[in-house]
Structure formats: structure tokens, C-alpha cells
Amino acid sequence: MRGVFVTGTDTGVGKTLFSAALLLRLGAAGVQAAACKPVSAGCRRAGGRLVNADAELLAAVAPAARSLEIVNPVAFEPAIAPHIAAAEAGARLAAADLVAACRAAAAGAEYLVVEGAGGWRVPLGDSGSLADVAVGLQLPVVLVVGLRLGCLNHALLSAEAIRADGLHLAGWVANPLAAAMPRLEENIATLAHRLGAPLARLPACDAATEGGRARQAAAALPADLLARLPGVNHAWRGTQ
């Protein structure tokens, strides 16, 4: 299976924005890419089902059409840690089940973009974590870094954990969360040197809708990051 696993240094750092932008660019290159956000917490009730806004965006922009239930097979209403939400709902989260759900989303597609929840070690239960899903899929990883005070430690530890789990850090994404972050460029330069992986920068996206912001981000993604993602390079270069 060709694809990428998108993780982040924390929640709310831009994983969905990057994932949606990647899906849009893959679509523009003619790649039938599917999306999967295997577990989400923080949903609204609509039409008798739970709807996660991030998963909804991924389903809307993915070139390979999938129902929301396929894109986001496990959804919980409260915006809390998934393993706590699962316990409160009387459910059990197992990495093997989430891996199978991702593979189901990938069926018939040329490429799969998987978006994690929170960061690399977000618990699934008493012992497992979302990292086990990425390991089970054996996909290269892109790390989205929310640039704010403390991000250096978070990014370096996340990259260390990804590599310790035997996975390839295919790239990282710099996403400024506060325009006034002191020494922003110096922080980016430090991470670029220490992470040793291709860099992409998300721009300030000010469109009125999530889809519009995803399109703005897609236009800014560089070829030098995505050309190194296994299975993407041939299609990506064709869009430049």
C-alpha cells in the first residue's frame, strides 16, 4: 500500500490542513488518493450520526470518494483523549482494528493519506497508542509542527520516537500558530538542521471556509518535500 501517515506535535497544529492540501495536490496530479482518519474525538450529531469536521473535510477533498463512515470509522462526541472517550462510551480501541479500517479505506485507491489524532503517542487504551497504527501500516510519516514556544522539544522528541519505532520520517511541516512568535525563523532553522528531513511551510490561510484554506495551503506545498514521499514523486513532479 502506498501512502503517508500524518502526525503532529500536538492537537490543533495543522494536521488536517496539511492532509487536505496534500489530497488536493494529489488530485490535481491525477492520483486517486483516499483519506482515512481512523479515530476522532470531538464530533457533532447530524442526521443520527456523529460527524467530525476534520474527517468531513478530508472526505470532501479526497480524489477517491469514500463515505464519511469509511473515512472516519471510529468517532466520539466529546473533544477529549480518544481512549477516555472510548472508555466512557463502553468501546475498546485496538490498533489492529484501526489498521484494518485504514486498509479498507485504501481499497481500490492509488494512495492513502492517514491523519492521526493529537500526537505520536496518543493512547488507545491501557498500553497501545496511535503509533501502533502507523507501525502496522508501515507508512512513511510526515510530522506537522505547530510553531509556538516549546515546539523544539516537542518536534525533536516526536521525530526521535517515530524513528525509534522503525518508520521513515519523510518530511516535516512548519505551521506558525502565532505570527508574533519570537525568533520564528530561528526556530524553523533549528528544526530544519536537527530533524534532517524535507521541510514544507504552511502559509497564513485566511479563506472563509475550511476548503478554501486547504486550497491556499495546497498551492504553497513544495515539490522538494513531496517528491521524497514514496509513490508520490512521479505524480507530484508532473504538477510543477
- Please answer whether residues 115 and 12 qualify as being in contact, where contact means their C-beta atoms are separated by less than 8 angstroms: no
**β-strand partners of 240:** none
| Spatial separation of the C-alpha atoms in residues 189 and 199, rounded to whole Å | 10
- The total of other beta-carbon atoms located within 10 Å of residue 70's CB is 18
Of residues 17, 29, 34, 37, which has the active-site annotation?
37
Buried b / exposed e over 94-122, threshold 16 CB at 10 Å, is: ebebbbebbeebbeebbbbbbbbbbbbeb
| Spatial separation of the C-alpha atoms in residues 238 and 240, rounded to whole Å | 6
C-alpha triplet 144, 212, 106: angle, nearest 5°: 60
- Please answer whether residues 143 and 172 qualify as being in contact, where contact means their C-beta atoms are separated by less than 8 angstroms: yes
37 is catalytic: yes
C-alpha cell belonging to residue 201 = 511551510
| Spatial separation of the C-alpha atoms in residues 114 and 134, rounded to whole Å | 9
Sheet strands (E) in 31-162: 33-36, 39-41, 44-46, 49-51, 74-76, 111-119, 141-147
Write out the catalytic residue numbers. 37
